[in-house]
Every structure is written in C-alpha cells, then in structure tokens.
Structure 1
C-alpha cells in the first residue's frame, strides 16, 4: 500500500512538473536587447529577496535586471487586488512582457497574466548575464533561509562580522512567543522601548540598560523580527539611534518563517549574557529622532518634509486611528506618506506575503506627494511604530536625512495650542 502511495505521489509530481514545463515552453524566447527594442515590460518572478539583492546559489551577484518589476510566483492576489497590483507595476496587456526566473515561476506568472488578458508573453533568456540593480542596503533585509543557514553555522553571504543576536519584538508579555518562535530568539517587549503617557522613547539611560541587559554592544549584529514588522522596526530605529551599527530585519516577519516551513520552538526566550559596556556614548545618532519643536521648525524649512505614515482616513480626519487618541485630523503642512488599511497595518508598503515592496513602488507613492530622497524628512504616525518602518525602508534605500518624529499625532494633538487640519488635501496643498 505504501509503495502504491509513493508511486501515485511521484506520478502527481511528474505531471505537475510536466505541466509547468509545457506552460513555460510555450513562451517564445526573447533576449534582453530584443526586449528593450520592443519596449517590453520585464518581470522578475523569483522570491522578492532575490529581486532586492540576495544572490541565488551559485551566483556572484544578486538583484534584478534593471527596470524589471517584481511579481513573484509565490504571491496570491485576489480579484479586487489585481487591478491595483498591475497599475503599481506598470503592467499593460497591450505591451509585450518578458518574464524570467525558475521554470515553475515562469509557468505560474504566465498563467496569472494570461488570466488577466496578457497574451504577448515571452521568456527573457539572457537575464543571468545582465548587470543587476538592487536595494542599496539589501543585506539588512534578511530572509528566512539565510537566517536558518546562519543559525546552522553554514557559510552565508553578508555574514555578521562578529557577535550576532536574534530577537523577537512585540508588545507585552511573550504569549504568542511561548507557543511558537524562531529557535534561539530572545524577546524584547516594546514597553521597554517606549513609555506612557504618549508612548515616546524611554530615556537614553533606560534604553542603554535594556541593551546591556540583552548583551547588545554597538558592534553587535542584531537581527529582529516580529509578529508585526512594525514592532521590530520600532526596535530597529531605536537601536540605530543608540548606535548599533548592524541592525537587520527579517523581511516578512515570523510569517515568512512559517511560510518557509522552517523549524520553530516553544518555551521561554533565549537569555543572552549581559555586557558591561555599550562601547559608545548613546545616542550615536541623535539626528534619527525628531522632537515636536524640531517638527515645527522642519515645516518652515524649504527642503523640510513632515511625512504622515497613516491611513488616508486618519490623514483627512475621518478617524484618529486609535481607541486612546480622541482628536481626529493631522498636522497642517504635512504630506501623506501612505500606511495601510488601519493603524496596525503597513500594507501599502508590503507585497502580498508581507515582505517589503520594491523601492521603485515605494518611491512612486512618495513622489506623488513630492517627498524626495534629498529632502530633510521626518516620518511620523500615531505613536511611532509605522513611522519606524517607513524610516527603515528609506534607510535601506540610502536616504541620508531621515528621522522619526517620535511624538507623532498623539503628542501633537494632545496640545490644544498646536494647529490641526481635516478634510481632503492634494499633494500641491500640503
């Protein structure tokens, strides 16, 4: 019986492989030069970490063909999401499309595009020899298999130069952590990073105490992940403010680990050995944090941008976004930097699997509101989590003059002397 089951499973796998092969084989080949001559849209079907910059096994370079858009074969869009996804990626069924990646990826993306009226589909043949583009700091946005290999002691690209530590970050007691977490992870409660009444950063002394307690020096590589990437990004920003030189985020958080079917563990957090000295005076990067007074000054600065990382309904004053924040509206002169579906979401910045969107798509959102890389930019939200994720993505793109306005809408709106605004605004009115 077991033998028969194995034969059936093998036959099914063979049929599936043949199906993918047949679908991929239907695509006519197209060279990169021909694709450019025909004005073809180039599509990368691989997992997003390869697109962002991580090299595949056996490659000397990572990243994507210049100008290519990312449409991973692993992503799932529903019918309502497809039109916006196609717009974000500039995909037009009237134009030729050249796709590249694995055989399975080619077949799956070709199938998805055909279902949406794309018929001029080609396979890009010489993409592996092409010069690649990549996210500037792609090494700081790690993916599950890289982390698993690092834990296993295997050689990895962009390995930490010295001591490294792994932390899950979340609010409150580690209830979900106890049930399932990445092996070897310690736990950081965001209550140790921020404090009431406004949930702003704790004092520098308290921040340093937390770092020392967890064995973190300025030269420790710290890998962070969360059930929600915003929490990990909040920690990442404050560690960078303190002066930790090598801070990395697990792209897609623990959900990406689950999707990769990697081993998890139950039980208490790992306890790292405390250290006596951080090795640098905190903060090493005070410029990464903006106060309310600095935010007001920024609004008067010709190249200053105060960027609201909130939902559209929060930005126009339909909701405050939080049960504990009563005032609705936003800061006059601020620009809308997008957010997600609610105050617990950054979906405007994420692929369907929760990983970071290509920088070109994030830049396109910000460019609509004249938010430019060269400007002095402070990101804010309600209390700092969403703003920290936007900050980290801008830093990955090598924006030089960025910070988080820590107080955000909560602190701004708590003072009745501060002006507020509601209603729909256009970029030109910001």
Structure 2
C-alpha cells in the first residue's frame, strides 16, 4: 500500500496538506491510518446494516468506529444543498480526509456526489468490516426491522434476530383502512388508532378496553408484533401502548410503509384476514405501567438534573408561536420542559429521519438531545401534543438502549387544559 509521505504528514500538521494531498492520497487506507490523520469514515450502506443488522443470517453487523452513515440510497432524494448541509452538520469540509466503505456501486455513487461539491480527498477504507470485534451497533437494532428482513420472515426464510413466538404484522392509522384496502404488506392486520385512544384528550383507552382490543387481534404477551404505518408515528403510538400493556417483543418497520414501497416488495389488497382471538393475555396486565406517565408523574420530572420531561414538538410550538393543532387552542410549553426536537410542524419529524424516512443515526440523536441536557442516565419522559411524535422518539430511544424512558400520555393537550399548570413561551436556551 502506498503510504502518505513524511512531507505530507508534516504539511498536514501545519495546515497546508491540501496543497499536495490530492497527489499523495492512496487508493485505499486502513482505519488506523485514517484515524492517525484525523480523517472521517463514511458507511455508504443502508442504515439497517449501519445500525447493526448483519447482511447475512449468521454474519456480524454494525459500522466502523466513529463512522458516519451516508447511504448511497439517499442520494436520489437529496439535492446538492441538502448534501452540503449533511456534510456541514458533521463538520466535514472540502479539506477533510474521507474514506468510504460499502459495495462498489455504493462507494462510487457517494464519491461522485461529494466530488461534485468539491470534496476531493476521498479514498476507500481498506479493512472495512473485516474485524467484527471493533464494529459498533445500536443496542437494540433488532427493534427496527427493514423491508427485506420482513419479507424473508413472511416467506419463512431463516433471518437474523428471529422472533421467538407467533408473529403478527399490523398496520396502524387513524380512521377507516382506506389506504390499507388498496395495498398493504401481505398478511398484515389493521388497527385504527381510534381504538387505542379516547376523546376528549386522545389519551390511551382504559386498560380493560385495551386488553379486549389485544385479545380481538390475537395478541398475547409473548406475541411478536411488527408495526408499520403510512405515518411512522401512528405505528409507534400503537407500539408504545403495546409495550405498556406488556407485549414483550414489539418492533417497528423502520421508515414505515414508504420503505416497503420503495423496496418494490409484494403487496396485498382487501380486508384483513380472519384473526383468531386470544383466549387470554397470559401475563399480568399492564405489564409495564411505568412506560406511561400521567400529569402528576410528569410534573415530578421538572427541575431535576437526573430527569427530563422532553418536548417532541416543533420549535414554533415550543416557543408558543402556534399550538400546532386546530383543536388545541392554548399556545406555549410546559415550564421546565427540555426541547427534544421534532420537525418543521406538528405533522413532521425531519429531525429524527434520514432522507429516506428511516431513523437518523443513534449518535446524531444522542448529540441532539445532549445539547439540551437530555442524557441516557436520566429518567426521561417524552411528550408532544397527544402522544404520536413522543411515541416515535420513545421507540428510537428504546432501540438506542436508553433504560428509563416513558411517554407522558396527556402531553401539551392535557397540560394546557388546566390553567393552573405552569406554562412558558418565547425564545429560550437549554435548561
């Protein structure tokens, strides 16, 4: 392998490496050499493999230490401005040394797009994915499944992270199953979110009603439930409530229905198939009541360094410019809450998504939360307007391995309905 010369190394230390680097750059570089030169590794594979899913049933998944994920599959939905924003957000400049890894076509596509923006110090990572012991992965990557894995599972093929018991695939959405009837994942059941939430505040239904609903759909505590939705947070809302109930293995299709559609996998039309009701839940109910907080429990997290009540609302909602909802009139935020980010408005979650709608990297999310003093050693409860966005972030935090997380079910809707609850508005900084 061609080595970087001593002259180049000296120039790098003096900040003048860019003058000769292009001529000296080897076609490949080991991770240790890359790290010695303070370069950045970029994983060009789909986020599922970056997160930890093995690419073969008995393989080892994960990414190289400190590697960033820029999937080649995202490039078709990223314009140059968005790609530049991604690079800037990760402190990558045109002078940065970059080593790519992934399939040949993936690294080639990413290199071409970066080069177009003026990033010329690009090589390949020679020893990528060759030392399983050093690979890093999300603590519970298996809780976010990807389309091909789910398709293989449906086809009764051997898969990594094989579910232990009976598997049910369920689509969740608000209202009648209009889109579901036109096309859905083969064998999927359907849950209307109206059946797991109740007016006037859209909190979860009573435990008795929830238990009856799960029995109707044949769900026991030992059933593996894989949720998906046209909106990821609709599926996450149901998933979080299933975990509260005590279902042990609940997973989300990362990126939701769109990821399945983008993969070009088979679909079905029509009504759900007949479901055999479950005779009993088979375990105490609810199994994890600590996952759902009421108002007094949420209030108890305020003003503590060892706890965070986290608003998953857009910045305009957080500072009180808008309530975010036509049916929620009060504007403002819970006094003492920390901002956990969300998206551009109450129906988007861009801050948590890759360009293809899958979950943004765990490191990115953790850094975003840390800037608002939200850390994994705390007791953390997420909330939004009525629970949907909060449930999505709950599912991500759970996949990231955060131990003590829950959802404040009532959220801003319930808190703001009581004029005695403290509220704040206006621009502010992390507490």
Tell me by how many angstroms 1:304 deviates. 1.8
2: distance between equivalents of 1:116 and 1:205? Answer: 58
Alignment of 1:97-246 (within 5 A): 97-130=98-131, 131-246=134-249
Q: Is the 8 A contact 2:49 2:55 kept in 1?
A: yes
For each residue in 1:301-322, what CA deviation from the matched residue of structure 2 results, as whole angstroms up to 9, or x when unmatched? 4412110000000000111000
Equivalent pairs counted in the alignment come to: 403
2: distance between equivalents of 1:280 and 1:95? Answer: 55
Which residues of structure 2 form unaligned runs of 5+? 1-24
1: distance between equivalents of 2:313 and 2:379? Answer: 19
Q: Is the 8 A contact 2:57 2:159 kept in 1?
A: no
2: distance between equivalents of 1:412 and 1:46? Answer: 43
Q: TM-score, normalised by structure 1?
A: 0.92
1: distance between equivalents of 2:57 and 2:154? Answer: 21
1:375 alignment counterpart: 378
SS of corresponding position for 2:424: coil
Alignment of 1:320-399 (within 5 A): 320-399=323-402
Q: Is the 8 A contact 2:57 2:160 kept in 1?
A: no
Alignment of 1:245-264 (within 5 A): 245-264=248-267
**Residues 1:426 and 2:429 aligned together:** yes
Tell me by how many angstroms 1:264 deviates. 0.9
Q: Is the 8 A contact 1:383 1:409 kept in 2?
A: yes
Cα gap change, 1:89/1:183 in structure 2, threshold over 3 Å: closer, same or farther? same
Q: TM-score, normalised by structure 2?
A: 0.92
SS of corresponding position for 2:28: strand
Compare 30-39 and 351-360 and name the one that shifted more: 30-39
Q: Is the 8 A contact 1:337 1:365 kept in 2?
A: yes
SS of corresponding position for 2:327: coil
1: distance between equivalents of 2:396 and 2:199? Answer: 27
Alignment of 1:31-50 (within 5 A): 31-50=30-49
**Residues 1:53 and 2:65 aligned together:** no
1: distance between equivalents of 2:331 and 2:122? Answer: 48
- What RMSD, in angstroms, separates the aligned Cα atoms of the two structures? 1.3
**Residues 1:65 and 2:64 aligned together:** yes
Q: Is the 8 A contact 1:214 1:271 kept in 2?
A: no
Cα gap change, 1:152/1:303 in structure 2, threshold over 3 Å: closer, same or farther? same
1:18 alignment counterpart: none
Cα gap change, 1:314/1:127 in structure 2, threshold over 3 Å: closer, same or farther? same
Tell me by how many angstroms 1:27 deviates. 7.3
Alignment of 1:72-91 (within 5 A): 72-75=71-74, 76-91=77-92
Cα gap change, 1:227/1:42 in structure 2, threshold over 3 Å: closer, same or farther? same
Q: Is the 8 A contact 2:52 2:138 kept in 1?
A: yes
Q: Is the 8 A contact 2:50 2:63 kept in 1?
A: yes
Which residues of structure 1 form unaligned runs of 5+? 1-25
